[in-house]
Amino acid sequence: MQTQFNTDFLSQLGTSDFESWVLVQQAYREECWNESIMECGFNTNTGYVYIALDNGISIASCFGQDVEYIIFDFEIGDEYFLDSYAEALEKQNEINA
């Protein structure tokens, strides 16, 4: 089954937001190419362009800055911003333990 993505958010991106979109895609390709994508989008409140993975990790960037890997702990409501996919996987394992 092929997943279909809504790409309407692309028309909302400014130049630095579009640079973020490129950075997020590059990080996905380099770090976690085989992971399933849940959704892609742009958060107009935070300025983050993101790819949310089915494993609970999001790859995000805002205003053309370096990507961050975001984990949300639903149990306690905390959000973690990590510098690498390896750190995000480690944190995700810690949360799920």
pLDDT digits (tens, 9 = 90+) for 40-71: 999 999 999 999 999 999 999 999 999 999 99
Closest CA to 37 of 59, 10, 12, 70: 59
**End-to-end CA separation in angstroms for the chain:** 31
Is residue 57, in this structure, part of any structural domain at all?
yes
pLDDT digits (tens, 9 = 90+) for 2-28: 455 677 888 888 889 999 999 999 999
Which residue's structure tokens are 């909302």?
Answer: 12
Q: Cβ neighbours of residue 74 under 8 Å, at least 6 residues apart?
A: none
The structural domain count of the chain equals 1
0.85 exceeded by pTM: yes
Is residue 2, in this structure, part of any structural domain at all?
no
Is residue 80, in this structure, part of any structural domain at all?
yes
Q: Is 3 helix (H, G, I), strand (E, B) or coil?
A: coil
Residue 38 structural domain: 8-96
Beta strands (DSSP E) in 1-97 are: 37-42, 48-53, 57-62, 68-73, 78-82
Is residue 3, in this structure, part of any structural domain at all?
no
